Amino acid sequence: MDPDKQNEATLKAMLKASKFFSLLALVTTLGISHGTHAAESAASYPSQIVKIVVPYTPGGITDVLGRALASRLEKKWGQSVVVENKSGGSEAVGAAYVAKSKPDGYTVFIASDAAFIVNPLLKKGLNYNPETDFEPILRLAEGLAFLVVRPDLNIRNLKDLLAMAQAKPGQVTFGSEAVGSTAEFRMRLLGGLTGGYKMNHIPYNGMVPIISDMLGGRVDSAWLPPHLARPQIEAKALLPLATNGTKRNWMFPEVPTLTEMGFDQTDFSFKMMMAAPAGTPKPIVDKIARDVLEVMQTPDFNEKYVHFNGYTGIASSPKEFQDYLDKTRPLLKQLIKDAGFEPQ
């Protein structure tokens, strides 16, 4: 080869290699810078107001727990933490709001299986994707709901209620906090697994109006969370037939579980969980998880806001939450299929 051409080729190769290594150095620098920035962001987090979105009206257990956490986190972080209520659509309104929020750790979400698992099984046309729109932070607590009826129905156990519902299709009523709620899901699934009886569903905007209508004789049955069921059961205003888990609730240990009665796959306890918008930096997610868990496990906090209301705290983490979702989603999908329930 001509020496001049050979020198030219060598020079081009050297320039090409130089550009490659310069680009590699730039990418490496950017990667280190991004990692350092993420770590710094987590170390300085939070530097502004943190918003906890609760998908219910004020006063419910999710709202109570959210506000209690906000108060403790304010002291821990030295930064304002506020609760914003976004109710409606069986948690779908709040879920969509959080899903579209900036993924910077300053908007987090406390919700239940309804937002993260149940809604897509019951509803068509959701305006958020529960599988891709959130970063799991941790599960907070779970509580077993009570299936209650009016005493004047002369029903003393679940078998009696199922028999009445099958004998009088559409005449036995049950109330839930919303169309597509987990309470509706429990009752419809129970019907599908016991012969497909048809009960008349009456949806409300929240749980308190259900209790008022049950006491007024306008609704026959409902699934109530423990903190709302307790005063009505103690006053004998409502009669408990079952709890929806594998262990009896300490509040009323005489009330049997659905599992005891042969419904082995109906552990639909009400679980409160915290998540952030997808894309929230992992160091910030991990910091929130650690700090919230520390607050949840404080003895006085656990007794006052968790155990007293009939709930049990969960020693969770982002990974534990994700593992729970991965395990539970296919199980509920199969239950829906077995019960013959179609999304509406």
Per-residue pLDDT of the chain (344 residues; tens, 9 = 90+): 554 555 455 445 544 545 544 544 444 555 554 444 455 477 889 999 999 999 988 888 899 999 999 999 999 999 999 999 999 888 999 999 999 999 999 999 999 988 999 888 878 889 999 999 999 999 999 888 899 999 999 998 988 998 898 888 889 999 987 776 777 777 777 776 566 667 888 988 778 899 999 999 999 999 998 888 999 999 999 999 998 867 788 889 999 988 888 776 555 677 899 999 999 999 999 999 999 999 999 999 999 999 988 888 999 999 999 999 999 999 888 877 776 767 77
Helices (H), the chain: 3-44, 61-77, 92-99, 113, 119-122, 158-167, 182-193, 208-215, 226-234, 282-296, 299-301, 318-339
Same domain, 13 and 82: no
Residue 259 lies in a domain: no
Residue 258 lies in a domain: no
Residue 292 lies in a domain: yes
Give the pLDDT confidence score for residue 27 in this predicted structure: 45
Question: Of 158, 141, 136, nearest to 149 (Cα)?
Answer: 158
Same domain, 19 and 63: no
Give the pLDDT confidence score for residue 36 in this predicted structure: 46
Give the pLDDT confidence score for residue 21 in this predicted structure: 47
Same domain, 138 and 221: no
CB 225 within 8 A of CB 77: no
User: From edge to edge, which strands make up the β-sheet containing 107-111?
Assistant: 81-85, 50-54, 107-111, 270-277, 134-143, 311-313
Q: What contacts 202, CB < 8 A, 6 or more positions away?
A: 173, 174, 175, 176, 213, 219
Same domain, 335 and 279: yes
Same domain, 53 and 134: yes
User: From edge to edge, which strands make up the β-sheet containing 200-203?
Assistant: 200-203, 173-176, 221-224, 146-149, 239-243
Give the pLDDT confidence score for residue 298 in this predicted structure: 96
Total-model pTM: 0.79
Question: Of 139, 171, 126, 95, nearest to 292 (Cα)?
Answer: 139
Same domain, 61 and 37: no
Same domain, 169 and 206: yes
Expressed as residue numbers, the domain containing 183 is 146-243
Residue 74 lies in a domain: yes
Number of domains in the chain: 3
Same domain, 15 and 53: no
Question: Of 276, 309, 234, 265, nearest to 61 (Cα)?
Answer: 309
Residue 251 lies in a domain: no
> Token match 């490496």: residue?
28
What's the half-sphere exposure (Cβ side, CA atoms, 13 Å) at 273? Answer: 29
Residue 250 lies in a domain: no
> What does the DSSP 8-state code read for residue 100?
T
Tell me whether residue 195 is exposed, middle or buried, using C-beta atoms within 10 angstroms of its C-beta: 0 to 12, 13 to 18, 19 or more.
exposed
- Burial of 114-138, coded b for 16+ CB within 10 Å and e otherwise, reads bbbbbbbbbbeebebebeebbbbbb
Same domain, 226 and 277: no
Provide the residue type at 170 as one letter.
G
Give the pLDDT confidence score for residue 19 in this predicted structure: 52
